Structure 1
Amino acid sequence: MLEKVSELDLFTIAEQAVSKSECSGVAVFTLNEQGEPANLIFLMNNGETVDVTDFELSFKRFDRRNQGTQKVEQFSVNGSNLLSDVEGVAKVLLLEDFSAVGGLVFLLDKQGGSATQAELAMELAVERLKLALERTHTYKCPVISTNTQLNQKLELLNEIGSISKTGGWEVDLASGVITWTDEMFRIYGLPHGSPVSISTAMAYFPPETKKAITASFDKVVREGKEYCHEGFLRRADGKVLRIKATGKPRYTGKKVTQVFGALEDITEQYRLLETEYNYAAYLTAILDNLNDVVVTIDTSGTIITANKTMSTIFGYEPDEIMGQDVSILMPDPYAKYHSEFLNHYLETGRAKIIGVGRELPGLHKSGRVFPIELSLSEVVQEGQRQFIGIVKDITERKKAMEEIYKTAYFDDLTELPNMRSFEIDLARVLNQASSQFNALDIYCCLIDMDNFTQYNLSFGKHVGDKILATIGQRINAAIDGDLKVYRGIGDNFLILSTAPVDGENRENESIINTLEWEIHKAIVTPIAVDDLIHSVTAAISSCRLEASKASYEKVNGVLSFGKKRAKKQGPGSVLTIDNAAFEDYNRYNTITHSFQRALQNNEFYLMLQPQFNASNEVIGSEALIRWEHPELGMISPVEFIPVAEESDAIIDIGNWVINEACRLLHDCEQLGKHTRIAVNISGRHIVRADFAETITQLIEKWGLAPDTLMLEITETTLVSSIDLVRERMDKLGELGFFFS
């Protein structure tokens, strides 16, 4: 039994369909079970209505299985045909499943327009009629347009709803009928076309959501107030969705007759939002736990964001600093010129700091200035240029670097620059002097404490350290201008003029002599340590050399050479080596580096000096070493032996002399002459642990008796290591050797 459709419903459909339409008019009618039109409302676009009793309609019988555009055979009102044979166009819409309502849209003529315009007008009118039929009909059944493009639009509409996960609904207040789009069924998890009612639809909402939507729906009906709520919906399969529900009124006259709206599945949106929020919280947690400040500013220098480390490093809370000018974090003059630097970059693109990074002073909220390392980069965020700054407090790093620098370049005891600093400064002075056109000298001075090792042994190292620290302070106080004092190795100090010296200026010589005398007085002045008065002396060796001929190695060599000469003169001696005396050092240096070559090339030879007894009889000989240098000529033992004793070269020379003496004794034995040869042994040689073994092996090698070799110990060793020398002599005496 088909439901009755009232005349008022038909009029409402017609009115909604023809409103703002460009078609000529619309006819809305009911069909009987045979598919024949029954009641009909005919409404012209100008608002004129036609009495149903005066309306006469005849056209082809409708086939529900083949709905579509129908050519109307006859369409007349009061006997007047409204369709011409060529211009008249009509499109009929029918609902499926023996629905009781249908409609027809017609265009009387093309009204001077093109065929395309006429077709478009019909398309729009048909769609309006479709919506009007859907809104008013008892059942939710899709209107099937007989036009292909219209079908495509309907499919697109459903597809959009599916993609956006938004369903549409409408409630007719008079009938209580609910109309749903396809997506509504999918959201609820119900089979498509399932019968629904208001109570059924509301049953899927949990209590809180149901209460809110019910109250809002009532307000729409009573007061016409739109609503939008977010809540939850439990689908038919038990899955809970987060939804957004909206509702709006539709009026007939001033009365709300329908309520329509949308239901959007926002579960995925919330999941993404929650993920985004969690990710943002994750990033915020990372930023807030960094040891560095991360701050963003705009092109005017205003702080936009800051992490929590801002409070640790600068003393400002993030909320407190946001909106402030970034110059608040800088001391003058950086704060004063910051905006100028920023504007310069914005105008020219030439960065002085952006993208470069540098060390700068930072200003704490308390007013304390501290070192920072700033790295800036530029980003574009939502079309706006912004700058990201990463600020690192490098106070501890600077302290550590200062400690490392101090350890590397300063002496812990005296707090004076050390030998490494001396080497660097000397290289700089040499380079500076060498770059000048006129000849310039460099001035250095070596101060070596006399017998300080014995002093440490006598009074203890702590006393020696205090004395050295005091001496360092006194020397530092005695110098001024370009002069700089350094702690050398062990118990010596160095002084360097950090600026080249004019070698032709005689006033400089007088100044240097005065300086060295002041240093001498500072050293010999008694020093009180632990209630005891200590007096010390030092050998002072200074040099003034042409920078073009000098190097770090040569300067050290000259100073060491001068120190040895000064030591020979006695405690507290002062010796200056100038350019003229530099030749003495060159000769000394040549001798020092020629010993090994001389041994390999047989440059040494022995001369025998006879020894007589009281009866003037030859009882033996003394072996005297001689050296003929290929460049320096004959070198006296008085000159080269002391140089050899400064290193192990004296050991090699001593072994050569013993071997040569043994060879001569062997030759004499072969000739039947029994004699004895005396050789000079350096104390440095005899105190070696392997000396007895070496000399014994040489005696055995040449088949000699130990008493044929007389040993004479040089006086230098007797002074410095008398106890050890006596011990070695006793052991050699037990082996059969004699000493003169």
Structure 2
Amino acid sequence: MSQLFTELVNALDQLVLKPVADNPDQFEWVAGDKPWIKALVPQLSSNQTFEIDQTSLFLSDFIVDAQRIWSSSENSLLKSGLWTEVSDTGLSLNLEAIAIKQNGQPLLVVINKSDEFAYRQRTLQSARELMLANDKLLEQHDYLHNRLLGILQSPADFSHSVGSLAVAIENAGFAVMILDENLQLVTENKAVSELFEYSKSRLSAQSTPREMLLKLMQTQLPEYERIFTTGSSWSGEVCWLSPPHTLKWLKLAIYPVKHESPQVSNWVFFIHDITHIKYLLERNERLTLQDPLTDLPNRHAFWQTLQRRIDNRHPFYLLYVDVNGFKRINEFYGHSEGDKLLAELAGRLTRSLKKRDYIARVGGDEFAIILADVDKENNCNNVTQRLLSLLNQPFFTETGESYQVGLSIGATSFPHDAQDVEELMKFADLSAYNGRDSSKSSVQFYSQKLKEQSRQRIEMEAELLKAISNDEFELLLQPILDLESGKIIKAEALIRWNHPQKGLIMPTLFIPVAEQSGLIGPIGRWVFERACQLLKAIGEAGYSIKIAVNLSPLQVVDQTFFDFVRACIDKWQVDPVYLALEITEGVLVNDYRQIHNLLVRIREIGISISVDDFGTGYSSLAYLKKLPLDFLKIDRSFVQDIVTDDNDKAIVSAIIAMAHKLNLGVIAEGVETNEQKDFLTTNSCNSAQGYLFSRPISIDALLTLLANN
């Protein structure tokens, strides 16, 4: 038995000693005779007691603490934690000591942890290499993405563009593939053929890299259909079994390219072989299934867990969580701040869930959650509202700047909505996408109605594309009057869609679709240029009034927008003093630094700035004194009951007083009665618009009003 014990101790790489009862500084050898033991305790003897001297200072100090354990009458245990030391013979040791008191018997166990320590260091190095590799990838992708966009969006002829693209991508250091709008190959670099081991000289039976990649995406990505239908960016991983039996992991980033037309003109694919990184991670099974940034399970682990939950046949809800505006955070504050946001958000989400729930990071800014034991929609909704409440507290950068983000949450039910992994993930992703907004949070439950809405939205996107090409939009003007003189001093430009079959479509129906699909860019540019054209016509008719144009959130982050504004002003030869931009509170708060730079440049050329729908968005008013603003527009919701509601009276009076203290003008929206107008006039509101004065009208009707005015 004693021989078996000794062999077991040696197998576990341990030394077991027993303190002498009447002299705890002395020890008896019990078991363990590996070479490292003699290096650690040279004075050790198997047939007589010995004292552990100061050769090992850490072990000597630990023995002082251990003696309290050994002198106790109760069973107890004390661990030293891992320490490293170099013996007199030069041997480097990574050790842990355990003091034990069990059934009256004191023991000291010293464990050689060198192999575990080396393994842990390799694991940490693997994680560090993965993070560094990802950072390098992001830098390379950002640089090349911007360069390719410049070429693809340039007005040069096609043959010249292809030549420029080939030069730009040839030395990229990773595979780059550029496809046209129909996913047909335009050009690719040599790294693509090397990655996919493809040779054009082989028989045509071999699939091309483009065909192989699209097939991999179609079979492995639930988002495949949504990416190409909606023209969305995507990044993530796919695995490829290279013939005959070599598994490769590919890091894939996809970017749609849109020129002046809102349609996707090209697709840019960046493909990077990360098999070596996966190999590093596979040294540690936990990291193979773990996201190193957030410490959450990764996409692979989530799919495995989701499949097991499905196999158990117990009902549950699946949540797909997408961070709104994450790309803006990355671009504005840098990738390190984006990583910090994801890590902090992961912590907030995890702490709000139950132990039986399961959360993973399944994409760049996407999380997936399995809500165990939740089988009713109202219960699931309670959980999603709890998750959204986590965003009430802002996030902070390293420099102390605060910002807020929104979440789009899609929810699907097992087994009601779908009964396999692919369908559940596809429907959850579709639901999240359907509710996505630039900054606001939303929750969408999958349903046949949602599927139908998604189909209708896709149809409307296609019709909007035609509307832009066929010039189906019309710009109406709603007069804004000076309350003191009663004269028209400004007009707000309001878009309408004259659909050839459906008739007049109001902006509340198509603008959200345009913003979600990215079509708001070309539509917004059409509105601004048309406003300049109308302003020129008004000036030529002999009148001097301003035209106000609403600015969308996407136009704020469009780095080419200011140059476009200058180009329109030059083209139509209008005085920018007679142009105004209206921006909502949400845009001002969420994109503060970027909007500040834009507004400064806008103001420098003479265009005035109004805050639209003031009072309905955010409680922070700091931007009012920091941003270059000219007017506040009081939202119609406050004006509607201003005559009868004391709270609305107080709010409107306070807004007017505050604005004037800040040297800002005030415009009231939605004025429909003389009583409302009288209250606003009495409280020194500068100007107003609404049906009391005029509905939105054509340019000809406005000129008639100006003549009569």
- Report if TM-score (shorter chain) is over 0.5: no
Query: Which one has more relative contact order, counting CA pairs under 8 Å at least 6 apart?
Result: 2
TM-score by length of 1: 0.34
Structure possessing the higher radius of gyration over alpha carbons? 1
